[in-house]
Structure 1
Amino acid sequence: MKYPTLRTCGLLVIGAALQSIAASDQPNILFIAVDDLKPTLSAYGSPVPTPQIDRIAERGTTFLNAHCQQAVCGPSRASLLTGKRPDYTRVWDLKTRIRDIRPEIITLPQHFKENGYHTVGVGKIFDPRSVDKGADEISWSERYTQTWHLKYHPSTGKPKAHYHNPLSKKLAKQAEAGGIKSWGAINKLLADNDAWPVVEAEDLPDDAYDDGAIAAYAVAKLKKLADLEKPFFFAVGFKKPHLPFIAPKKYWDKFDRSTIKLARFQKQALNSPDYAYHDFNELRSYSGIPGAGPLSEGLQRELIHGYYACTAYIDAQVGRLLDQLKKLKLANNTVVVLWGDHGWHLGDHGLWCKHTNYEHATRVPLIISAPGGRRGLQTGMPTELTDLFPTLCELAEIEIPADLDGVSLTPTLLEGDETTREFAVSQFPRGPQMGYALRSGRFRYVAWYKTGGTSTDGESAPIATELFDYKLDPQETRNLSGTKQFSLVEESLSAKLEDFLKRQHL
């Protein structure tokens, strides 16, 4: 939407006219989610060039120490989009629906909708397993656009079960023709026939795959939204670099696999509990991945290559959205936020996928560009994804719900203030244990509780603890908990986490 800047006109108005002025100054929100994206972005010093996402960073603030609240899609997104932690939403898995537990909860897009915004979305914003078939229908001003509503490149049509390679596509079509409809059943059929590859690099146009089609839809939708008489909240959810690693060949060609560096430390951290780790079964379900044991160096390079290619593919799609904002003259009145729902292990600790309380799983990209905000700022202040809800409310000048768990980052965005947060907290269940990780500017302290895999009441003593110093040990090679040298640090962080948990579970 294009707005006149009425406050500069010197007009004296009262009553309803004042409300109109306030509304006219409200920024649009372009809310870009990227599935499974860790900070492999050039704005974070990564060797993966992401010039389009860099454009957001150049106009805004890059949060270098941002963390999700649980490193798996459903719980992380449920937390971010409600502004509440997993222990409140009770979404710790990939089957619990948010509103089955909290039917009264107000989501971020719902709150904007109720405060005069036109809210629309496309792609993956909520995890579909956490909401109704309408992607939480109450949150949107119009029908949410799912992938089956999209238009794909006419030369290819829609991919089948993610793929365009001939064998996978053929088997998926046969399955659908035979009445097999469920995602899990089709994937199992492909896996049983060695046709569920973890990578694909077909020489096809961007819009042959979901994310290109999502970008094409978003570009067209922005043009329609620009003509509305109210501000918009547009959520665009890209699906890569989630497994399988599929991107058009030209993005694979950007990288020389032989030069890709493997993780330096590929062992379990000394003195850390076994249940802090996992066997990355999400990856092992794909064709060509061994069912047990470490991965060969060649396979590791192929996987990292795929992750990088998918990241480059997404970067290009983000560029299409930014180009359209500029073309429509919306860039100067639109808050652009780009976030990943969690990080991803690429061989560090001998791990792949997410599902831990370690740095590579919890740390996420978070970049926000706001009208009137600082440009090109980078901050190492600990930050949480729960902070997005109050931050966007304050930037839009709408009421911040009183019970949110996050804090507004507006002082950082507008003034460069780096004192808003002292630490960020993540958590992850493993069997009957729940681990809580407190991340400060330098340290990570993790306390594991015997909880039955749900949450702790903050009263019981932890059954195991971990402490890592990123200044001395950025690879998390040694658990320092219990060492004399760091006893005062551990005592301080332990007290902070204990107090935090008590306050959370009152």
Structure 2
Amino acid sequence: MRNKITKMLFLSLFATLMVSCDKKTEQKAVENQPKNILFIAVDDLKPLLGAYGHKDVKTPNIDKLAANGFVMQNNHCQQAVCGPSRASILTGKRPDYTQIWDLKTLIRDKNPDVVTMPQYFKQNGYETAAVGKIFDFRSVDKGNDSISWTYPYFNFKHKSKIGREYIKNKERVSYEVVNVPDSLTADGEVVRRTKKQLQHFAKGDKPFFMATGFYKPHLPFVAPQKYWDMYPLEDIKLPEVMEAPEGAPSYATQPSWELRGGYADIPKDYDTPISIEKQKKLIQGYYACVSFVDQQIGNVLEELDRLGFRENTVIVLWGDHGWHLGDHNMYCKHTNYEQSTKSPLIFSAGKDRIGETLSPTEFVDVYPTLLDLAGVKSPGNLDGVSLVPIMEKKVKSVKDVAVSQFPRDSDKMGYTFRNETYRYTIWIQDEMPFESNRNIDKAIIVDEELYDYAKDPQETKNLINEADYAAIKKDLKAKAEAYFKSQETN
């Protein structure tokens, strides 16, 4: 009897060990598999999210992704407008290299041999596909940079009736409440096509790079009724500061060009103020569109889970730049101020990479970071650096400043340098094409700006001439000079 019991215990122990070994083998096999990439781009999404400390807008799906991922709390775009920003993140190169400073220049007209992020993954054995807005369509060929994708890209929003906005008014207006299901919107179609592509990937055995680009919350603010209902108009508050920064150059701000120039319900005359009621409707519409796109992101992530991809997929979610929502009496982007350059950047890359950082980061860092997370060797000619050491808490920061820029009047370029506390902006007079490899001492500096986000987060005053900030200005100007010098080899 005793021998029988001993034998049973041995068999039970053996079975337990075998199950444990199988699980470890399974886990090791998953760890050794090439990582898939889900690259989620959101047009005009500022970090007005719970994950960034904002509670006014409801974004449960993005916040859940962030809670189980790593949030770059001090991330900045290279230039706060769609074409240049997307060109930089997708090539890993800064605007003065890509020479994309506008919405009409083609990336490959300037750099025909540049290797984009999806193209490089494709060269390294990945299948690549894009749905929705990834590159700005004005910066690439009709195939959304055809060479980057394994599967042909089809820009359904501009080429077909499927997924177009349902606008009741004949005139183009800045916002619209629609009574249609999510699936009949452009972003609903982005979800459907992304799901279909993920299902196709599930049938194969190659790693994938899936780029999904959502159109909202870009103007016009069009969303189904239920998302507007989340934000009663009486609860909408205007920004605290609605004046330009004291002592800033007049050209550093902008008169809401994009909003005033394209919508019948907005005064085109810059001297005519937008009514308070209209501004509240715009803010309400932006909030509604953010919650709407949050739900669409949730739908994509749900499908990723259903297909069993989540554990072996690196997810990166980003908004291509910030957005002025009435602050400094501005709407839209197109500046070097905080609300324009600061952009959401969230990675989901495993249980060992959860947290957040206030260290400055930039969109040129995304390309090398994804390569690092996927275990793909970097081409070595990228302007950014991997953020994985920060995510794995090996270092607190990988750079001193994030660098953004914006041109003005075709003869000025403003370069802005943001560290954890301050922003220093230097306006240099020059003729296009602009070049970063310049000597500050010889450059024609027409203006400078300095802001302290610890004491003045609303940028109410340019501190460049304040005696108390002389040492800070000197330090940041030296970092700017070092940056320009470093560009000589790029």
TM-score, scaled relative to structure 2: 0.90
Q: Does residue 419 of the first structure (1) align with residue 389 of the second (2)?
A: no
Q: Does residue 297 of the first structure (1) align with residue 276 of the second (2)?
A: yes
Q: Supply the AA of the counterpart residue of 1:458.
A: R
Task: Please name the residue that 2:422 is paired with.
Answer: 443
Q: Does residue 288 of the first structure (1) align with residue 297 of the second (2)?
A: no
Q: Supply the AA of the counterpart residue of 1:288.
A: D
Separation in 2, partners of 1:301, 1:231: 45
- Which of 468, 472, 476 is the matching residue for 1:489? 472
- Which of 418, 425, 438 is the matching residue for 1:458? 438
- 1:414 is displaced (CA, Å) by 2.6
Note the aligned Cα RMSD (angstroms): 2.1
Alignment of 1:118-133 (within 5 A): 118-133=127-142
Deviations along 1:224-262, whole A, 9 cap, x unmatched?
112211110000000111111111111111111111111
- 1:372 is displaced (CA, Å) by 4.3
Q: Does residue 9 of the first structure (1) align with residue 9 of the second (2)?
A: no
Q: Supply the AA of the counterpart residue of 1:163.
A: Y
Q: Does residue 27 of the first structure (1) align with residue 39 of the second (2)?
A: no
Alignment of 1:242-391 (within 5 A): 242-284=218-260, 285-291=262-268, 292-293=270-271, 294-375=273-354, 377-391=355-369
- 1:425 is displaced (CA, Å) by 0.2
Q: Is the 8 A contact 1:66 1:365 kept in 2?
A: yes
Separation in 1, partners of 2:277, 2:242: 15
CA 1:416 to 1:360, structure 2 compared with 1: closer, same or farther past 3 Å?
Answer: farther
Separation in 2, partners of 1:418, 1:360: 24
- 1:6 is displaced (CA, Å) by 10
Q: Supply the AA of the counterpart residue of 1:9.
A: T
CA 1:320 to 1:158, structure 2 compared with 1: closer, same or farther past 3 Å?
Answer: closer
Deviations along 1:198-233, whole A, 9 cap, x unmatched?
001111100221001101111222121122111100
Task: Please name the residue that 2:388 is paired with.
Answer: 410
- 1:416 is displaced (CA, Å) by 6.1
- 1:121 is displaced (CA, Å) by 0.6
- 1:271 is displaced (CA, Å) by 0.7
Q: Provide runs of 4+ in structure 1 moved above 3 Å.
A: 5-10, 21-24, 148-152
- Which of 24, 39, 44 is the matching residue for 1:36? 44
Q: Supply the AA of the counterpart residue of 2:67.
A: E
Q: Does residue 66 of the first structure (1) align with residue 45 of the second (2)?
A: no
- 1:23 is displaced (CA, Å) by 9.9
Segment drifting more, 98-107 vs 458-467:
458-467
Q: Is the 8 A contact 2:430 2:444 kept in 1?
A: no
Separation in 2, partners of 1:198, 1:148: 18
Structure 2 residue matching 1:389: 3-state secondary structure: helix
Q: Supply the AA of the counterpart residue of 2:482.
A: D
Separation in 2, partners of 1:219, 1:308: 26
Q: Does residue 102 of the first structure (1) align with residue 111 of the second (2)?
A: yes
Q: Is the 8 A contact 1:374 1:416 kept in 2?
A: no
Q: Does residue 203 of the first structure (1) align with residue 179 of the second (2)?
A: yes
Q: Is the 8 A contact 1:60 1:373 kept in 2?
A: no
Q: Is the 8 A contact 1:430 1:453 kept in 2?
A: no
Separation in 1, partners of 2:65, 2:303: 14
Deviations along 1:374-406, whole A, 9 cap, x unmatched?
23x121111101100000001111111211000
Q: Does residue 137 of the first structure (1) align with residue 117 of the second (2)?
A: no
Task: Please name the residue that 1:163 is paired with.
Answer: 166
Separation in 1, partners of 2:205, 2:150: 14
Q: Is the 8 A contact 1:429 1:453 kept in 2?
A: no
Q: Supply the AA of the counterpart residue of 2:33.
A: D
Higher gyration radius (CA): 2
Separation in 1, partners of 2:351, 2:52: 23
Tell me, which stretches of 5 or more residues in structure 1 are unaligned? 13-20, 169-194
Q: Is the 8 A contact 1:75 1:94 kept in 2?
A: yes
Separation in 1, partners of 2:93, 2:400: 18
Segment drifting more, 440-449 vs 407-416:
407-416
Q: Supply the AA of the counterpart residue of 1:470.
A: Y
- 1:151 is displaced (CA, Å) by 9.0
Structure 1 residue matching 2:138: 3-state secondary structure: helix
CA 1:421 to 1:209, structure 2 compared with 1: closer, same or farther past 3 Å?
Answer: same
Q: Is the 8 A contact 1:39 1:364 kept in 2?
A: yes
Q: Is the 8 A contact 2:163 2:188 kept in 1?
A: no
- 1:421 is displaced (CA, Å) by 2.1
CA 1:151 to 1:130, structure 2 compared with 1: closer, same or farther past 3 Å?
Answer: closer
Task: Please name the residue that 1:54 is paired with.
Answer: 63
Alignment identity in percent? 47
Separation in 2, partners of 1:93, 1:281: 14
TM-score, scaled relative to structure 1: 0.87
Segment drifting more, 446-455 vs 360-369:
446-455
Q: Is the 8 A contact 1:151 1:213 kept in 2?
A: no
Q: Supply the AA of the counterpart residue of 2:149.
A: W
Separation in 1, partners of 2:228, 2:158: 28
- 1:472 is displaced (CA, Å) by 0.4
Separation in 2, partners of 1:158, 1:381: 39
Separation in 2, partners of 1:301, 1:107: 40
CA 1:304 to 1:416, structure 2 compared with 1: closer, same or farther past 3 Å?
Answer: farther
Separation in 1, partners of 2:72, 2:472: 24
Q: Matched residue pairs, number?
A: 460
Structure 2 residue matching 1:116: 3-state secondary structure: coil
Separation in 2, partners of 1:37, 1:274: 26
Tell me, which stretches of 5 or more residues in structure 2 are unaligned? 1-20
CA 1:150 to 1:100, structure 2 compared with 1: closer, same or farther past 3 Å?
Answer: closer
